[in-house]
């Protein structure tokens, strides 16, 4: 594949890490702007993938006479649709995070209220739990499942 034909991988990770300044207030205007940019760029990439999938399925949909070819195409389309469905749910989480930025709640654990942390949010911009609450959540899930 040439560079121009490589698929775009939807990722929030194409940004310069935020450089914290000493004594800086957590989730100040600059930090919120940093995360808003990350989230909006990630959403734009995901939306681009949705459009690409729609065009791909419209352009490549064919009624193959060979049952094996039809089955292969249906399998490929099914996999692509499952991927887009996961991305649709991710877009909802991104939208929720953008609303939290607007309301001033972004960056704080929804369970205990402490700071989630800049680096954790850069790794997972849609995180709603601090690492301790997330760990406890996973332990509970493992015990119940």
CB atoms within 10 A of CB 120: 16
Residue at 12 is within a domain: no
Q: What is the CATH number of the domain that holds 34?
A: 1.20.120.910
Question: Which residue range(s) make up the domain with 125?
Answer: 109-145
Q: What mean pLDDT comes out for the span 40-61?
A: 83
- pLDDT at residue 11 tops 60: no
User: What is the C-alpha to C-alpha distance for residues 37 and 31, in angstroms, rounded to an integer?
Assistant: 10
pLDDT of residue 55: 76
Task: Tell whether 51 and 101 lie within a shared domain.
Answer: yes
Residue at 124 is within a domain: yes
Residue at 11 is within a domain: no
Give how many domains the chain has, as a whole number: 2
User: What is the C-alpha to C-alpha distance for residues 75 and 69, in angstroms, rounded to an integer?
Assistant: 10
pLDDT of residue 13: 60
Task: Tell whether 102 and 62 lie within a shared domain.
Answer: yes
Residue at 6 is within a domain: no
| Helix (H/G/I), strand (E/B), else coil: 115 | strand
H-assigned helices in 61-117: 67-103
Place of tokens 């681009």: 48
> What does pTM read for this prediction?
0.79
Task: Tell whether 63 and 118 lie within a shared domain.
Answer: no
pLDDT of residue 7: 46
């Amino acid at each position: 594949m040439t560079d121009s034909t490589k698929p775009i991988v939807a990722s929030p990770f194409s940004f310069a890490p935020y450089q914290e300044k000493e004594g800086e207030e957590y989730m100040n205007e600059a930090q919120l702007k940093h995360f808003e940019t990350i989230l909006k760029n990630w959403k734009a990439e995901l939306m681009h993938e949705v459009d690409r999938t729609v065009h791909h399925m419209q352009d490549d949909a064919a009624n193959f006479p060979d049952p094996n070819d039809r089955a292969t195409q249906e399998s490929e389309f099914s996999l692509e649709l499952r991927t887009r469905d996961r991305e649709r749910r991710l877009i909802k989480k991104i939208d929720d995070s953008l609303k939290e930025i607007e309301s001033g709640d972004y960056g704080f654990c929804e369970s205990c209220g402490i700071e989630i942390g800049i680096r954790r949010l850069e790794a997972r911009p849609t995180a709603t739990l601090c690492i301790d609450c997330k760990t406890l959540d996973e332990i509970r899930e493992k015990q119940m499942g």
